[in-house]
């Protein structure tokens, strides 16, 4: 479907992930860096009170030895962040795909409603002509003509309103790929291409692979890496320095060395470790909440789709054929003077209401199908036709 391809390629919400990925790659490079080497120069006894020069010059190289695998822990945490970003991009893509289908269905339904409003306006125009003939022949009162003309004006207003709604829905769909003018056509037959439903248990099994749930596995790995990183920070970082010292008065040079060990590192870092562990333990509860939410949303979409499909079939096979036959009988009876004008108007209105309800039920079935696709991360709807102008 062209709308899906264009949205995935051009929607700015997905483009953001390229920049976030570049930022995480930079963080991974930083995490892989070893402690820096430092050069320090020190000049002592430069000017004494005795006036005798006793200058000492020390030049030393220093750094830190990270113990406990701190560098690897930083790398692992950075990589886990990258993996989580990939899952988040999949979740965002699924959300966008669901929105594309919903807006596309809005366009399909709007096109059908414009067609229905056009038919209604044409029927109202023909009604004015028919009533006018009866009024001229003194077979009907003038009030029937006035009512028919009012119905025609109302039908034209409805057609105008449906046309504006169609333009809005087309622009809303085009906005998903950044277009400001909706230059595409749709095949309205796609509105009624409703596939047979799938068993709910099978749909729920598919939903277990939803990236929204897989995200918790990635986040759990990330939090575990962060716990490990905080724990390694409790280990001692041994600072070292080595260099040479020159005594100006004796013209001697000696080797100097030093080490530096922080005290009570584990105690100072205990809060950070406890916080990281709490974040890790929270993931399991969040996963269960998300699983239950997906279950309830999936069942709502499943039952809603089943009801909408049943409604479409009922309108097709029973309601609309019966109302169409009733309208034909009312038209025939009105021409012969057997039925009043209100009977004819009522029959026409009931048929139009049923046709509109069929369109809305078909659109609802496709929207629920889009929600099921989003929740199961698996295709359910047939390919719909859309072509650029």
Q: Per-residue DSSP letters for 350-375?
A: HHHHHHHHHHHHHHHHHHHHHHHHHH
Confidence (pLDDT) at 20:
67
pLDDT tens figures, 65-109: 777 777 777 787 788 777 777 777 777 777 888 888 888 899 999
Confidence (pLDDT) at 4:
59
If pLDDT is split at 50, 70 and 90, which confidence band does 53 have? low
Domains in the chain: boundaries: 2-215+286-388
Measure the CA–CA gap between 127 and 288, rounded to whole angstroms.
Answer: 61
Query: 381 near 373, Cβ under 8 Å?
Result: yes
Measure the CA–CA gap between 312 and 357, rounded to whole angstroms.
Answer: 8
pLDDT, the chain, mean: 82
Report the b/e string of 232-268 with b at 16+ CB within 10 A. Answer: bbbeebebebebebeeeeeeeeeeeeeeeeeeeeeee
Residue with tokens 């995490």: 31
Q: Is the pTM of this model over 0.85?
A: no
pLDDT tens figures, 195-209: 777 889 898 888 888
Query: Mean pLDDT across the stretch 196-225?
Result: 81
Confidence (pLDDT) at 256:
87
Measure the CA–CA gap between 50 and 9, rounded to whole angstroms.
Answer: 79
- What is the distance, to the nearest Å, from the Cα of residue 273 to the centroid of all Cα atoms in its chain? 34
Query: Mean pLDDT across the stretch 246-265?
Result: 80
3-state SS, 134-183, equals HHHCCCCCHHHHHHHHHHHHHHHHHHHHHHHHHHHHHHHHHHHHCCCCCC
Measure the CA–CA gap between 281 and 286, rounded to whole angstroms.
Answer: 9
Confidence (pLDDT) at 351:
94
Cβ neighbours of residue 17 under 8 Å, at least 6 residues apart? 85, 88, 89, 92
Cβ neighbours of residue 5 under 8 Å, at least 6 residues apart? none
Confidence (pLDDT) at 382:
46
Which of 378, 389, 291 has its CA nearest to residue 97?
A: 378
Q: Which range among 56-65, 320-329, 372-381 shows the weakest confidence by mean pLDDT?
A: 372-381
Q: Indicate the SS3 state at residue 386.
A: strand
Query: 75 near 30, Cβ under 8 Å?
Result: no
pLDDT tens figures, 357-386: 999 999 999 999 988 888 887 765 444 455
Q: Which range among 123-132, 163-172, 246-255, 374-383 shows the weakest confidence by mean pLDDT?
A: 374-383
Topology of the domain comprising 2-215+286-388: Outer membrane efflux proteins (OEP) (1.20.1600)
- Rounded (5°) CA angle 107-111-116: 145
Measure the CA–CA gap between 344 and 335, rounded to whole angstroms.
Answer: 10
If pLDDT is split at 50, 70 and 90, which confidence band does 11 have? low
Which of 78, 73, 86 has its CA nearest to residue 28?
A: 78
Q: CA Rg, the chain, in Å? A: 38
| Residue of higher predicted confidence among 65 and 9 | 65
Phi, psi of 53 (to 5 degrees): -70, 125
- Provide, for the chain, the percentages of residues in helix, strand and coil under a 3-state DSSP scheme, each rounded to the nearest 5: 70, 10, 20
């Amino acid at each position: 479907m062209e709308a899906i391809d264009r949205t995935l390629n051009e929607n700015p919400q997905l483009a953001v992930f390229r920049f976030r990925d570049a930022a995480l790659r930079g963080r991974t490079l930083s995490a892989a860096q070893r402690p820096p080497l430092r050069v320090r120069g020190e000049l002592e006894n430069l000017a004494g009170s005795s006036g005798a020069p006793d200058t000492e010059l020390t030049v030393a190289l220093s750094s830190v030895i990270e113990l406990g695998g701190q560098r690897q822990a930083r790398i692992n945490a950075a990589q886990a962040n990258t993996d989580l970003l990939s899952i988040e991009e999949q979740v965002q893509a699924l959300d966008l795909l669901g929105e594309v289908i919903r807006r596309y269905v809005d366009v399909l339904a709007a096109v059908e409603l414009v067609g229905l409003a056009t038919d209604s306006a044409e029927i109202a125009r023909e009604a004015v002509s028919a009533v006018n003939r009866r009024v001229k022949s003194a077979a009907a009162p003038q009030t029937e003509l006035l009512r028919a003309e009012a119905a025609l004006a109302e039908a034209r207003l409805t057609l105008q309103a449906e046309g504006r709604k169609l333009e809005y829905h087309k622009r809303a769909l085009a906005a998903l790929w950044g277009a400001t003018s909706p230059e595409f056509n749709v095949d309205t037959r796609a509105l009624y291409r409703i596939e047979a439903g799938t068993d709910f248990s099978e749909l729920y099994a598919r939903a277990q692979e939803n990236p929204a749930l897989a995200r918790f596995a990635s986040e759990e790995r990330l939090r575990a890496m962060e716990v490990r990183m905080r724990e390694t920070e409790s280990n001692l970082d041994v600072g070292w320095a080595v260099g040479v010292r020159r005594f100006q008065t004796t013209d001697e040079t000696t080797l100097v060395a030093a080490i530096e060990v922080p005290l009570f590192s584990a105690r100072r870092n205990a809060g950070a470790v406890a916080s990281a562990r709490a974040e890790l333990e929270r993931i399991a509860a969040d996963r269960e909440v998300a699983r239950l939410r997906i279950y309830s949303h999936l069942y709502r979409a499943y039952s809603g789709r089943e009801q909408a499909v049943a409604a479409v079939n009922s309108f097709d096979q029973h309601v609309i054929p019966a109302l169409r036959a009733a309208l034909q009988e009312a038209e025939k009876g009105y021409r012969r003077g057997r039925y009043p004008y209100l009977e004819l108007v009522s029959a026409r209105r009931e048929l139009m209401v049923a046709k509109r309800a069929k369109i809305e039920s078909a659109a609802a079935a496709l929207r629920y199908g889009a929600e099921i696709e989003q929740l199961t991360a698996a295709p359910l709807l047939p390919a719909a036709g859309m072509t650029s102008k």
